[in-house]
């Protein structure tokens, strides 16, 4: 099932994509999927980011080859940081290059969308709390992330407005631990990997995060980027494609 959010006649709502139709839902898809019975043409609605997270919990260095390319080695346990929900933009929306930065990078990642309040999740049970999966770009002002004046904190460099494109929808039926992930810049392949190369798998990540932090319905876990990160320039078009989900495409301005 492909879950979307859309706006039509001034109203925002969740829906399920059915070919060229949108089947409108009564409410957010977290407790149950309930249809209103209304069908809209995909061409007559404005699509929106498919989730409204209270926070985006991101994992640093969760693919060994990426940890190696950063020259910092693999940390012994997942490294967490948070992007604010004001970073979110949708498929087709622009990513704004901050004037204060001279290096802005793409990081193609699998995004896990939480479907149920999750606290102290036990190993092997994370799937019960997951609504589905989406493509995500953990856009990073690398020079600001690494700036000595920011200490070891990544919030400023990764928290700019528009720095978290997500979409184009939430796929609920996916063997997300074994899908191909590719990032293209102006059509050229820059990252190509498989989610089976994550150091800490999705189940472990959800358990680790929720030991101390409650994840709410709609929250997103960004599961880390594989090797091949690099910089973008104004005017570039970046695409994150994940097998079984689709392609998230954004321009840098
Ligand atoms: Mg990342």
The full DSSP string for 127-161 is GGGEEEEEEEE--EEHHHHT-GGGTT--HHHH-ST
62 Cα to the center of ligand 1, angstroms = 9
173-201 pLDDT per residue, tens = 999 999 999 999 999 999 999 999 999 99
155 Cα to the center of ligand 1, angstroms = 12
- Between strands 230-232 and 237-242, the pairing is unpaired
- Given the candidates 2.30.30.370, 2.160.20.80, 1.20.120.1200, 3.60.21.10, the CATH classification of the domain at 2-48 is 2.30.30.370
Omega prior to 214 cis, within 30 of 0 = no
Start and end residues for every CATH 2.30.30.370 domain found in the chain = 2-48
Residues whose CB is less than 8 angstroms from the CB of residue 18 and which lie 6 or more positions away in sequence, other chains included? 39
107 Cα to the center of ligand 1, angstroms = 6
Start and end residues for every CATH 3.90.850.10 domain found in the chain = 56-252
Q: What is the pLDDT of residue 242?
A: 98
- Given the candidates 2.160.10.10, 3.90.850.10, 1.10.287.180, 2.40.50.140, the CATH classification of the domain at 56-252 is 3.90.850.10
For residues 179 and 194, the answer to whether their CB atoms sit within 8 Å is yes
20 Cα to the center of ligand 1, angstroms = 33
Q: Which two tokens stand for residue 232?
A: 């973008």
Q: What is the pLDDT of residue 67?
A: 85
Q: What is the pLDDT along the chain (253 residues), one digit of tens a residue?
A: 999 999 999 999 999 999 999 999 999 999 899 999 999 999 999 999 999 999 999 999 999 888 888 887 888 899 999 999 999 999 999 999 999 999 999 999 999 999 999 999 999 999 999 999 999 999 999 999 988 888 788 999 999 999 999 999 999 999 999 999 999 999 999 999 999 999 999 999 999 999 999 999 999 999 999 999 999 999 999 999 999 999 999 999 9
Q: What is the pLDDT of residue 197?
A: 96
Q: What is the pLDDT of residue 78?
A: 94
């Amino acid at each position: 099932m492909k879950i979307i959010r859309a706006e039509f006649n001034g109203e925002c709502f969740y829906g399920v994509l059915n070919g060229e139709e949108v089947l409108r839902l009564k409410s957010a898809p977290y407790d149950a999927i309930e249809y209103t019975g209304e069908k809209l043409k995909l061409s007559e609605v404005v699509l929106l980011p498919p989730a409204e997270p209270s926070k985006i919990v991101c994992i640093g260095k969760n693919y060994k080859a990426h940890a190696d390319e950063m020259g910092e080695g693999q940390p012994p346990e997942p490294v967490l940081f948070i992007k604010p929900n004001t970073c979110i933009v949708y498929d087709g929306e622009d990513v704004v290059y901050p004037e204060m930065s001279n290096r802005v990078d793409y990081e193609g990642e699998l995004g896990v969308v939480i479907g149920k309040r999750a606290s102290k999740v036990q190993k092997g049970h994370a799937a019960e709390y997951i609504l589905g999966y989406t493509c995500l770009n953990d856009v990073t002002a690398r020079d600001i992330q690494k700036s000595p004046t920011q200490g070891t904190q990544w919030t400023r460099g990764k928290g700019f407005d528009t720095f978290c494109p997500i979409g184009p929808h939430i796929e609920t039926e996916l063997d997300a631990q074994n899908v191909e992930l590719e990032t293209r810049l102006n059509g050229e392949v820059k990252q190509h990997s498989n989610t089976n190369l994550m150091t800490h798998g999705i189940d472990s990540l959800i358990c680790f995060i929720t030991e101390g932090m409650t994840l709410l319905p709609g929250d997103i876990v960004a599961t880390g980027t594989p090797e091949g990160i690099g910089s973008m320039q104004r005017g570039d078009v970046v695409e994150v494609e994940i097998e079984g989900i689709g392609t998230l495409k954004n321009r840098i301005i």
